[in-house]
Structure 1
């Protein structure tokens, strides 16, 4: 893939079995001749208050998401692991995580 413009999902996985949230995004991806992956995007729909609170919580806890493109299965190991940066205007910059590693291990009790 040299360039992709369309929609994809940003998925935040707590562990291999639990995807806590999925966000639809409009995305533009470019891959240069040496394979460097760069992407920008924006939420496909305005987030309501609850979605915005969830997004902000996940971004603060660990801004690493899987980008899943149309036609890919929705399993934990699918997609491309990225670190997401959000600008004040809501635009997103997605940077591929080398070797698929980048998230920190966080344990928290939901009870």
Structure 2
């Protein structure tokens, strides 16, 4: 089993040109013999109130992020992120995610 422990960056892309936000995370990735990987992590820095509001908004809209590892300018692996109440993140690869999101805003 291969293992990576270090830092990464979660990027939330609105489209191919616009990254709305990026979050540094401490991450541990384990890859098994057949290439399946699983990852856990935490935000590298405590999010301030504004960052937390943005994070929660993006997670509610669509919890899919691109992940970039050290030395990468832009993330290439799509992951679905789940955050537990204690701030732990679980990332699962989402290779079949097509980038489409259907969002409805209530403006009343």
TM-score strictly above 0.5: yes
Query: Does the 8 A contact of 2:61 with 2:103 survive in 1?
Result: no
Q: Give the gaps of 5 or more residues in structure 1.
A: none
Tell me which of 66, 77, 82 is aligned to 1:85.
82
Query: Does the 8 A contact of 1:62 with 1:103 survive in 2?
Result: no
Q: CA separation of 1:82/1:7 partners in 2, compared to 1, >3 Å: closer, same or farther? A: same
The number of aligned residues is: 105
Cα deviation code 1:36-89 (max 9, x no counterpart) = 010000000000000000000000000000110001122xxx421000000000
Matches within 5 A, 1:55-70: 55-70=55-70
Whole-angstrom CA distance in 2 between matches of 1:88 and 1:103: 27
Whole-angstrom CA distance in 1 between matches of 2:8 and 2:104: 29
Q: Give 1:11's aligned residue.
A: 11
Q: Give 2:46's aligned residue.
A: 46
Q: Give the gaps of 5 or more residues in structure 2.
A: none
TM-score, normalized by length of structure 2? 0.89
Query: Does the 8 A contact of 1:30 with 1:38 survive in 2?
Result: yes
Q: CA separation of 1:34/1:6 partners in 2, compared to 1, >3 Å: closer, same or farther? A: same
Q: Give 2:91's aligned residue.
A: 94
Shift of 1:102: 5.1
Whole-angstrom CA distance in 2 between matches of 1:102 and 1:40: 23
TM-score, normalized by length of structure 1? 0.87
What SS does the corresponding residue of 1:15 show, helix, strand or coil?
A: coil
